[in-house]
Amino acid sequence: MLARLDSPSDRPSATSRMEAQGSPFGARRYNAWNDHVRRRHGGRVQKVSVAAGFTCPNRDGALGTGGCIFCNNAGFTPGYLDRRDGIHAQIDTGLGFLDRRYPGTRHFIAYFQSYSNTYGEFARLRACYEEALSHPRISGLAIGTRPDCLPDTVLDYLAELAASHIIELEIGIESCDDAVLQRVNRGHDFACGVDAIERAAARGLGVTAHLILGLPGETRESMLDGAARLSALPLRALKLHQLQLVRGTAMARDWQRDPASVPLLDEEAYIELLADFVERLSPDILLQRLGSEVPPALKLAPQWNMRLSELAPRLSAELARRGSWQGARFVTPAG
């Protein structure tokens, strides 16, 4: 089932739209990560995915064995990766693809994306990071992980690396609602995410949080409240993803048995929700991603008539239609 959100009663009126001043972010109308990166580094910074063979405490038995009910890592692991290859070989393969797609790129960073890439013995983590950094064309690291897999030892080491390299720490928060996190078998609560973000930021690390919009149990109100709760944290950036059903996951099987158990957003409803969310998000938080795209062979639903590349301009158009922008409805936290 594809859900449409009711039109919110608190949307800016036509009069307020006409009276609104111009967007502080220009025609894009949101604080875009790519614009920030180009200003800071003089051009594109492209991620080169590597698979280092890490696992997850929600899969290896430390917390559970089934993993999050929405997760199939094959859905966001590039097809060219072969974890049997060494890290340098994987980087070389990725660079061959990216050089053709993004000619002239000045900076590449190794992206440890699959599973929890700060989970394991510290000596092995350090060896993997340093092997990637020793590649002559790699300027830094992007490290994806869970908030419950960030011991102080790892954060201290990443802070040392950040003194001389580009270091991006990506933490999967996924929802700000504890009941939803429990329902999707996430294995941690929102407070765990807050703690991880604050400890990383205290060391000067730039943190990007991941959030999935439309998880079972979420409401429009809970998701918009999430914008306010995340805005109160020392986040540098945010990656937003629409809920997609990936073959081989428990959530996909639930949906196949009973589609009503996992309501899905159609593209129009998602753009509307995205605009509502962005209006309430701190204008200081960079938006690194607005949605995601699972390979067609793995994606079960929803089937949109829109490519991922169309999402950003459609969000900008919706914000322009409203006379709005990121942070237009942001309320600075008290105290």
Instruction: Summarize pLDDT for 286-311 with one digit per residue, the tens.
Output: 999 999 998 888 999 999 999 999 99
Residue 49 identity: S
Is a pLDDT exceeding 70 seen at residue 147?
yes
Q: What residue ranges define each of the domains in the chain, with the CATH number in brackets?
A: 2-322 (3.20.20)
When the pLDDT of each residue in the chain is averaged and rounded to a whole number, the result is 90
Q: Could you tell me what percent of the chain has a pLDDT over 90?
A: 80
Is a pLDDT exceeding 60 seen at residue 14?
no
More confident: 52 or 6: 52
- 17-52 pLDDT, tens digit per residue, is 333 457 899 999 999 999 999 999 999 999 999 999
Q: Could you tell me what percent of the chain has a pLDDT over 70?
A: 90
Cis status, amide bond into 302, omega within 30 of 0 = yes
**Which pLDDT score is estimated for 5?**
44
Q: Which pair of structure tokens corresponds to residue 121?
A: 């013995």
Dihedrals phi, psi of 37, to nearest 5 degrees: -65, -45
pTM, to two decimals: 0.91
**Which pLDDT score is estimated for 67?**
87
Mean pLDDT of 117-139: 97
Mean pLDDT of 218-245: 97
Strand (E) positions, the chain?
2-3, 45-50, 107-112, 138-145, 166-174, 206-213, 237-242, 245-246, 264-265, 286-289, 299-301
**Which pLDDT score is estimated for 83?**
66
Burial zone of 236 (CB within 10 Å; 0-12 exposed, 13-18 middle, 19+ buried): buried
Is a pLDDT exceeding 50 seen at residue 220?
yes
Is a pLDDT exceeding 60 seen at residue 9?
no
**pLDDT confidence bin for 138, thresholds 50/70/90:** very high
Mean pLDDT of 69-96: 81
**pLDDT confidence bin for 85, thresholds 50/70/90:** confident
**pLDDT confidence bin for 76, thresholds 50/70/90:** low
